Structure 1
Amino acid sequence: MTKGTVKVVVCGDDKVGKTSLIVTLMKDRFIPNLQDVLPPVTINRDFSSNPYSPKSTILIDTNNEDISQLHLQLKSADVIWLVYSDHESYEKISLYWMMLFRSLGLNIPVIVCKNKCDRYDSTYNVDNQSSMSFDTKIEDEEFIPILMEFKEVDTCIKASALTKYNINQAFYLCQRAITYPIVPLFDARLGQLKPLAREALERIFLLSDNDQDNYLNNEELLALQKKCFSKSIDINELEFIKDTLLELKRPGATYDNPYYVEGKGITKEGFLMLNKIYAEKGRHETIWGMLREFRYTDSLSLDQTILHPKFSIPDTSSVELSPKGYRFLVDLFLKFDKDNDGGLNDAELTAMFKCTPGLPKLWSQTDFPMSTVVNNRGYITLQGWLAQWSMTTFLDYSITTEYLIWFGYEGDTRMALQITKARRFRRRAGKLYRTKVNDRKVFSCVVIGKRKCGKTSLLDSFLGRMYSSLYTPTTKPRVAVNSLELKGGKQYYLILQEFNELDETKILTDKKKLKECDVICLTYDSSDPDSFSYIADIFKKYNKYIKSIPIVFVALKADLDKQQQRCTSQPDEFCEQLYLEHPLHVSSLWLSSLNELFIKVTETAIKPEECTAGFSDEMNIDDSDYMQTAVVLGSSIGFATLLAFTLVKLFKPNDH
């Protein structure tokens, strides 16, 4: 972004008119017989002007008598306004001034200005001043060698302090060198857009190609113009752009024009060529207008404060997508589902993520798209797409805000998210437990159990996958997310997480992970007599970490013969000792039992007090801590109110 204050150091040979340029700019008239050097002059921005221009610009006049002072001023500059007037001062640009800047290690833009062109330039015509465009200025024969030899030179311009010719334009060019720097965009020596600029413009093209046909038609071009510059394009301008691109031909090309196709519009290569022409003609503010509208900084990276906006999130709250966020993601899915089959195939998914750094790392780690709902061809469905983003937002909302921007979300991404209320706790029999949740739609459940007990099949069933008897060991954490509907038509998203035995022990002692967890699902194989003892030992060993988290016990493989468990307590008895419901008997072959389990887990997340271990129905909720605080606070407020009322009566002026 641009600086608040920009320093412009005006330098050049003696008698070239440096001081006259500054005075004419300030007074809007030529004043003869000026002092040798002016003190620094500050020009504040007109707040109705471009918001990207600096808030204030300091013009620093120089002379060449005190070289050390000149060097100090040059080192403090943001822009150098280098002035010459005649042939001798022109020659010294290359022989002295540019060499001086390099010896001082300056890497800042230089604006070369030919002053007194009314006296020294035979092409100058006082009657034709207003017709000179920036295009013709930089193409003057005098300027070409300078521009070609010195990459520091941003642009060149002719001016006359005497006739006020191009004074404002020269000053604007100094500001523009900071506001719209050319260096990040264009390599003058190679005559090409730089890689980062090309990459950013390609993304803008992709986001502007609403119908995804790889062309920008007139309607899309008009929409881009309106978005970036808040104005429309005249039909004649559209025709000029079209004719310009049609006249061009890629070197060595023997086929159709690669830049514009009749009836379709501008190609991606044509869009890049158009911006290259803008850079060559000195119209790089047009390029920056687009880049800034699409959230790019001066370094051609997306603004980190926009990618990752600051949130104030209570310790036990969660982050979810808002209706606005879901709407954007639905529209995005429909935009790229070109064959309207309700799923994103590999080509459509690749096209969608072309304007991003690629799939989020979190998705790759969780085996996307197999982490959510896909159709029979393995393509992610709209249901799965929304579930995947619900999970992503829950686990790491910063990924969501970043990708919303990459996808072209307009406005503050915080409006696409919503923060739930902090989780509340109450006390029963001296123990804390979580209370009912009212404003959350996304819940997380950690599935714990012995190897081969059926956890993986449970997650597959949750995603509607066919049961497979083939055993696949869980070597890395696995996630499954899907939506489900409870009674009353309310829709929720449930995230099931499975770990190997080593990771399970880490999770059960990780306070941060346990805070994110809404339910712990303790599973065992009801047909394996040694299965339940594993989760019984887990519960006893990690009870102090999970005692306030609701728990659901599940007996898997219920379609097989039930076995007596080799454990000090049988499952039903173990649950009774904890005042919890008996294990649910579930089989991946019994769809109704699966549905019952997933609903039970979600309802437990909503009403956690009903499945928290250690609380019998006879135990009353002990709110004494809260009631005592309320009584004391209420008494304090009452006393304070009475005291304030008494003081008012004492000090109130007598009306009589």
Structure 2
Amino acid sequence: MAGGRTTVRVAVVGDRGTGKSSLIAAAASENFPESVPSVLPPTRLPSDFYPDGIPVTIIDTSSSLESRGKLAEELKRADAVVLTYACDQPVTLDHLSTFWLHELRRLEVKVPVIVVGCKLDLRDERHHMSLEQVMSPIMQQFREIETCIECSAANLVQVPEVFYYAQKAVLHPTAPLFDQETQALKPRCVRALKRIFILCDHDMDGALNDMELNEFQVKCFNAPLQPAEIVGVKRVVQEKLPEGVNEFGLTLTGFLFLHALFIEKGRLETTWTVLRKFGYDDDIKLRGDQLSIPSKKAPDQSVEFTSEAVEFLKGVFSLFDMDKDGALRFSELDDLFSTAPESPWEEAPYKDAAERSALGGISLNGFLSEWALMTQLDPAQSMANLICIGYTSDPASALRLTRRRSIDRKKQQTDRNVFQCFVFGPKNAGKSALLKAFLGRPFSDNYTSTTEEHYVANLVDQFGGTKKTLILREIQEDRVKKLLSNKESLAACDVAVFVYDSSDEYSLKRTSELLMEVTRRGEETGFGVPSLLIAAKDDLSSYPMATKDSAKICQDMGIDVPIHISVKERDLNNVFSRIVSTAVTPHLSVPETEIGRNQKHYRQIVNRSLMLVSVGAAVAVVGLAAYRSYTARKNAASN
């Protein structure tokens, strides 16, 4: 099925008397009806009506004022719109641009529009203008118009073509492939075709030779190219674009030119067939069935790359680091992602989320950290990008599902390689400075409040020479309540840190309240997380009771004493390694409230009581069995 569709729904709209119902009836019956109802019921053209094998459901509409609500409803359900005017009534043509096309935009109808001139047989030829002359300025203004056609239901002229073009506009849309303004292939289409070209260029010489072209043709269209056809294709390209063919065969430039040519000639189905054979959907992104994403059985599981995928990424990094300076510059990174739908790290939350060199290049650590972050937040996007940059092994070999954190706590160990840390704290506590320090960025005295969700990721060296990836997610103070309103919000958190300004008594007080809120929510939902207190701005004088107050908070909650840091003085007290160490031991440093401790104690008593009851019952059963055995032996002896 083209694009995975099983049907196409077309709404026919236009002024009263333009021939909507007659057009539909003529298409369905292949006869001109002498009389038709003012509005026809839904009409179905069967799957064998057109070559694509997809049935078309046609919805007739009324243009009366009292039917406007119904009309709007049908337009929102439509896959395409056929917009009619009457060739013998010029006012209905004018009404397209003065009313109908604006109305479609007002209703936010974002589907292809086919403009159809009906009653061609009744047009006064004395005032005839070519369709191109009439429609060109309208199509310039309204880019949603896919095509224009004139027809006559009475003479059965171009009637089936109307709904063929409507179906084609849905199954093989122009908009994702081609920019009408610039008359060029769109960037995402170019990127996908470049990837397909590279996959088909088996000898990697930058050109498709005759054998590679033939294999491509068989894969996409199930039919080989004859030698004369291959010669003909290359001749067409060479005449128009000499660099499109070289001594080895058809170049990437020539391959792209051919597809632009197909589209310009209205053969969009050719390019769409190629894209769909290589796994692309209607948005020119890899379809879900190409990705093999492991489904999380529980919210406290996460998805990570396997060591095989990480080794592949290291190889890719080395391959694209053309100047071998240990960093990928912007141009090298753009080249690497030139076969992906777009460069994925140019927007939030990935932009500026990893370590960069002084010249703006991304280090290997930063490169791997960005991938780890993307895999945590959006495994499907990460897997799609991995495949697009050349991962050809089984997609299932690239991702692994981690064990539930609740099981890790029971086993008192974890096998995770990527940890997500939520960073809580009041405004101006030093959260953003901590995140910047994690990426080695210089301290700034200029305070700017973070307003958007902010992530950073980096590799952290652990004892024994191992490396773990740590993701820090800054949670703004005014967003904590909203975060905790979702009962699964803490499921993604491996460790939480609570940052406070050690020179500010209120900052510690507010941080302790946040610690209490998060702990309480963790106890309610079963997603309690190991936690640390971080005393930031240690270069400033602390208030008199700071040490005593913070120690009491930690003692009451059952967590370690605060880690004192000064980002300004670059005294980080090994804080990131300590955060990872806390995440690695998920059964330790989990704070508890007084209520939580009491409930835990109560559960322990109940469990112990149940155990004693079960042991007592077992003893009673064993005793009863022994008594019966003794009685049986005694009776046997007396007999």
- TM-score w.r.t. length of structure 2: 0.58
2:240 to 217, 227, 249: 249
Q: Secondary structure at the match of 2:580?
A: helix
User: In 2 relative to 1, CA 334–266 (structure 1 residues): closer, same or farther, beyond 3 Å?
Assistant: farther
Q: CA deviation at 1:512?
A: 2.3
Structure 2 segments unaligned to the other structure (5+ residues): 7-30, 32-43, 52-113, 115-157, 163-167, 622-639
Match of 1:204 in 2: 193
Match of 2:306 in 1: 322
Is 1:349 aligned to 2:323, yes or no?
A: no
How far apart, CA to CA, are the structure 2 residues paired with 1:625 and 1:262? 80
1:381 to 363, 370, 377: 363
User: In 2 relative to 1, CA 321–597 (structure 1 residues): closer, same or farther, beyond 3 Å?
Assistant: same
- How many residues align structurally? 472
Let me know the Cα RMSD of the aligned residues: 5.5
Is 1:482 aligned to 2:482, yes or no?
A: no
Q: CA deviation at 1:523?
A: 1.5
Deviations along 1:26-69, one digit per CA (max 9) or x if unpaired, are xxxxxxxxxxxxxxxxxxxxxxxxxxxxxxxxxxxxxx9xxxxx
Q: Secondary structure at the match of 1:424?
A: helix
User: In 2 relative to 1, CA 416–626 (structure 1 residues): closer, same or farther, beyond 3 Å?
Assistant: farther
Match of 1:549 in 2: 529
Deviations along 1:467-502, one digit per CA (max 9) or x if unpaired, are 223322222221111011211222211111113220
2:348 to 365, 371, 374: 365
Is 1:339 aligned to 2:323, yes or no?
A: yes
Q: CA deviation at 1:612?
A: 1.4
Is contact 1:521-1:553 (8 Å) kept?
Answer: yes
Is contact 1:446-1:498 (8 Å) kept?
Answer: yes
Matches within 5 A, 1:11-26: none
How far apart, CA to CA, are the structure 2 residues paired with 1:248 and 1:480? 52
Is 1:417 aligned to 2:399, yes or no?
A: yes
1:535 to 511, 516, 529: 511
Segment drifting more, 373-382 vs 405-414: 405-414
How far apart, CA to CA, are the structure 2 residues paired with 1:626 and 1:341? 63
Q: Secondary structure at the match of 1:311?
A: coil
How far apart, CA to CA, are the structure 2 residues paired with 1:280 and 1:474? 48
How far apart, CA to CA, are the structure 1 residues paired with 2:49 and 2:612? 64
Q: Secondary structure at the match of 2:342?
A: coil
User: In 2 relative to 1, CA 186–453 (structure 1 residues): closer, same or farther, beyond 3 Å?
Assistant: closer
Q: CA deviation at 1:464?
A: 1.4
Match of 2:541 in 1: 561
Is contact 2:426-2:511 (8 Å) kept?
Answer: yes
Is contact 1:249-1:258 (8 Å) kept?
Answer: no
Matches within 5 A, 1:302-317: 302-306=286-290, 309=293, 311-317=295-301
How far apart, CA to CA, are the structure 2 residues paired with 1:282 and 1:542? 59
Q: CA deviation at 1:455?
A: 1.6
Matches within 5 A, 1:574-589: 574-588=553-567
Is contact 2:188-2:342 (8 Å) kept?
Answer: no
Match of 2:244 in 1: 259
Matches within 5 A, 1:574-613: 574-588=553-567, 594=572, 596-613=574-591
Q: CA deviation at 1:244?
A: 1.7
Is contact 1:306-1:412 (8 Å) kept?
Answer: no
Is 1:457 aligned to 2:433, yes or no?
A: yes
Match of 1:471 in 2: 447
2:480 to 485, 495, 504: 504
Segment drifting more, 388-397 vs 499-508: 499-508
User: In 2 relative to 1, CA 459–75 (structure 1 residues): closer, same or farther, beyond 3 Å?
Assistant: closer
Structure 1 segments unaligned to the other structure (5+ residues): 7-63, 65-73, 82-106, 108-148, 154-179, 251-256, 427-432, 640-656
Match of 1:513 in 2: 489
Is 1:76 aligned to 2:54, yes or no?
A: no
Q: Secondary structure at the match of 2:520?
A: helix
Deviations along 1:531-588, one digit per CA (max 9) or x if unpaired, are 2112122233444114522111111122333332479x61122212333221111122
Is contact 1:553-1:583 (8 Å) kept?
Answer: yes
Q: Secondary structure at the match of 2:235?
A: helix
User: In 2 relative to 1, CA 418–507 (structure 1 residues): closer, same or farther, beyond 3 Å?
Assistant: same
Deviations along 1:617-655, one digit per CA (max 9) or x if unpaired, are 9x999598599799989x99xx9xxxxxxxxxxxxxxxx
Q: Secondary structure at the match of 1:610?
A: coil
How far apart, CA to CA, are the structure 2 residues paired with 1:451 and 1:197? 44
User: In 2 relative to 1, CA 627–407 (structure 1 residues): closer, same or farther, beyond 3 Å?
Assistant: farther
How far apart, CA to CA, are the structure 1 residues paired with 2:326 and 2:209? 26
Deviations along 1:233-287, one digit per CA (max 9) or x if unpaired, are 999889947962574135xxxxxx2423568x64444113445788999999996
Q: CA deviation at 1:602?
A: 0.8
User: In 2 relative to 1, CA 373–625 (structure 1 residues): closer, same or farther, beyond 3 Å?
Assistant: farther
How far apart, CA to CA, are the structure 1 residues paired with 2:382 and 2:412? 27
Where is the helix percentage greater, Structure 1 or Structure 2?
A: 2
Q: Secondary structure at the match of 2:539?
A: coil
Percent of counterpart pairs with the same letter? Answer: 27
